[in-house]
Structure 1
Amino acid sequence: MELRHLRYFVAVADELNFRKAAERLNVTRPALSKQIKDLEEETGLHLLERDTVSVALTDAGSVFLAEARAILSDVEQAVALAREAQDGRRGELRIGSAGQIAASFLPEALRAFRGTFPDVEVVFVEMNPPEQLEALAKNEIQLGFAYGRDTENVPGMSSLLLVRSTFGVSMSKDHPLATRRSVRLEDLIKQTVLCVGDEKHSTHRRDILAMFSESGLSPQATRQIVGFESLLTMIAADQGISFLPEIMDLRSTHGIVTIPLLSERAKVDFTMWAVWKAEGTSLLVRNFVRLLERNRPVVPPMAGVA
């Protein structure tokens, strides 16, 4: 049994006339009669009483008609919903967590997306940026966030630059250096430097140590902190200093000040990217990326780049 059998039967039941039903379906009357006969033979049901003058539904035909209408309605709705999903207007968009750095633009992008695509459910999945690249490759999420210039060239991924900011020195507002207008790396070698991420994935630690190394210096101690909120808690508790983007305002929310770093040799730019799989990008992702691009902060050029 195929859907056309149901459509043909419903048309005959509506018209109670084979000629009119055939005209409505744009088929010949003999072809329609054959389809109804095939339907009855396949189901083993006597659905219509018919003679040369009239057509009437049997009891079985009346029950079958109600169910056929329901099936055709369900199929029509399924096609409509699938078309909405194909067009990026319905479905689920799984996104990796963005962290506090995205607070200046992500909520507005989400509001705009929700207003335009109310039938798309956005689900945030908690994971660190390096884990998000792995999750994207495994199709566990559809869009993620990553840090560092290397993100622009990850094989098989497309990316959009969202934030660029110079690293400053972040410390508790009660730290002895907190009243300075700027600091040099030489002022920090006796400080405990806090780095976010685990040993395997920490681009933050790598960038900080490279910055010291390029200046011929080395911090007295470093400490690895898993989780950005934990890092902020440790800085606010004056358990060490760290290097965070100057664009972040943490004084009012965490009691942390970020002071410009003076360095003739080393200065690291912080970059944040939206990342998604380059191949087979869905309209859901494309639509969300467009709104991210529209709502991202103004991005200044890289240091030393015209």
Structure 2
Amino acid sequence: MELRHLRYFVAVAEELSFRKASQRLHVSRPALSKQIKDLEDEIAVKLLDRDTVSVSLTKAGEIFLEDAQKLLSDAESAIERANEAQSGHRGKLRIGSVGIIATDFLPKTLKIFHQKYPGVEVEFVEMLPAEQLHALALGKIDIGFAYGNEVQNMPSLRSLCVIHSIFGVAVSRQHPLAERKEVTLKDLRWETLFCLGGDGKSSHREAICQIYTAEGTKPTKHRKIEGFDSMVTLIAADQGISLLPHVLDLANQDIVIVPLVSNHSNLDFHMWAVWQRNSASHHVKHFVQLLEERVLVSSNVA
């Protein structure tokens, strides 16, 4: 039994006329009659009582009509949803979460994305930035975020710079350095320096090491902190400091970021949206397009 059989039966059952049903379906009456007969033979149930002048439904035909109409409706909905998914208007978009650093651009982008593509469910996957490139390769997320510039040299990925900022020194508002207009690495030599990330690879730790190495020095005391929220809490409690980009707004956490002065270090901070180069997903393309528009607006404002 094919959907065609159901469509033919439903047309005859609703019209109660082979002539009107054939006109509605644009098929000949003999062909329509044969299809209905084939359907009844296949399911071994008589669906219609018919003679030379009239057509009526049997009791079994009435029940079959309800189910056939529902099946055809479900089939049409399935086709519609498939087309919407193919065009990027339905489905799921999985994005790697990066927390507070994305508050300048991500919420506004998501709002516009939802307005344009309400049928697409956005899911945030909690993971550290260092894990997101691997997650992209495994297909666990569709869009991730990465720090540094190494993603530009990865042929399997495409990238868009969503944040360009400068590293400064994050200290609690009560810290003696908080009122300074600027500081140097020498001013930090007795401080406990927090680096984001555990024992695995950490782009934050690598960036800090590059800054210190360029100055020909290294921190006297440093600690690895697993999560960003934990690090912010420790800084606010005056347990240590860290190097963080100025783009972060941590004023409500009682933290200020003091400008860092260096004659040798590259203090630039970049964050990139990254996705698979061979991704055919319209969801990704639509979201990246909105990110590009957001970045363009931000750069024009700046």
Q: Same fold (TM over 0.5)?
A: yes
Where structure 1 has 5 or more consecutive residues not aligned to the other structure, the ranges are 301-306
Judge conservation of contact 1:11–1:21 (CA < 8 Å) in 2. Answer: yes
Query: Is 1:272 matched with 2:271?
Result: yes
Distance in 1 separating the partners of 2:241 and 2:13: 80
| Paired AA for residue 258 in structure 2 | I
Structure 1 position 299, deviation (Å): 4.8
Corresponding residue number in structure 2 for 1:237: 237
Corresponding residue number in structure 1 for 2:183: 183
The percent identity for this pair of structures is: 54
Corresponding residue number in structure 2 for 1:285: 284
Structure 1 position 144, deviation (Å): 1.6
Alignment of 1:127-138 (within 5 A): 127-138=127-138
Alignment of 1:201-240 (within 5 A): 201-240=201-240
Corresponding residue number in structure 2 for 1:63: 63
Judge conservation of contact 1:162–1:299 (CA < 8 Å) in 2. Answer: no
Distance in 1 separating the partners of 2:24 and 2:260: 78
Higher mean C-alpha displacement, 16-25 vs 144-153? 16-25
Corresponding residue number in structure 2 for 1:303: none
| Paired AA for residue 117 in structure 1 | Y
Alignment of 1:80-159 (within 5 A): 80-159=80-159
Distance in 2 separating the partners of 1:67 and 1:257: 66
Q: How far does the alpha carbon of each residue in 1:224-252 deviate from its partner, in whole angstroms, 9 at most, with x for none?
A: 001111111121222222111012222x2
Q: How far does the alpha carbon of each residue in 1:92-148 deviate from its partner, in whole angstroms, 9 at most, with x for none?
A: 222111221111121111221222222222221211111122222222222222211
SS of aligned partner of 1:298? helix
Judge conservation of contact 1:165–1:246 (CA < 8 Å) in 2. Answer: yes
SS of aligned partner of 2:272? strand
Corresponding residue number in structure 1 for 2:258: 259
Distance in 1 separating the partners of 2:232 and 2:134: 26
Corresponding residue number in structure 1 for 2:166: 166
Where structure 2 has 5 or more consecutive residues not aligned to the other structure, the ranges are none
Query: Is 1:28 matched with 2:28?
Result: yes
Structure 1 position 42, deviation (Å): 0.5
Judge conservation of contact 1:163–1:272 (CA < 8 Å) in 2. Answer: yes
Corresponding residue number in structure 2 for 1:38: 38
Corresponding residue number in structure 1 for 2:6: 6
Distance in 2 separating the partners of 1:97 and 1:35: 55
Distance in 2 separating the partners of 1:57 and 1:72: 19
Q: TM-score, with normalisation over the residues of structure 2?
A: 0.93
| Paired AA for residue 178 in structure 1 | A
SS of aligned partner of 2:101? helix
How many residue pairs get aligned? The number is: 299
Corresponding residue number in structure 1 for 2:47: 47
Distance in 2 separating the partners of 1:298 and 1:110: 16
SS of aligned partner of 1:64? helix
SS of aligned partner of 1:53? coil
SS of aligned partner of 2:19? helix
Q: How far does the alpha carbon of each residue in 1:144-189 deviate from its partner, in whole angstroms, 9 at most, with x for none?
A: 2221111233342222110000111111222222222111222223
| Paired AA for residue 227 in structure 2 | G
| Paired AA for residue 127 in structure 1 | M
Q: TM-score, with normalisation over the residues of structure 1?
A: 0.91
| Paired AA for residue 278 in structure 2 | E
Q: How far does the alpha carbon of each residue in 1:43-85 deviate from its partner, in whole angstroms, 9 at most, with x for none?
A: 0011122223322222211221121111111111222222222
Aligned CA-pair RMSD: 1.8
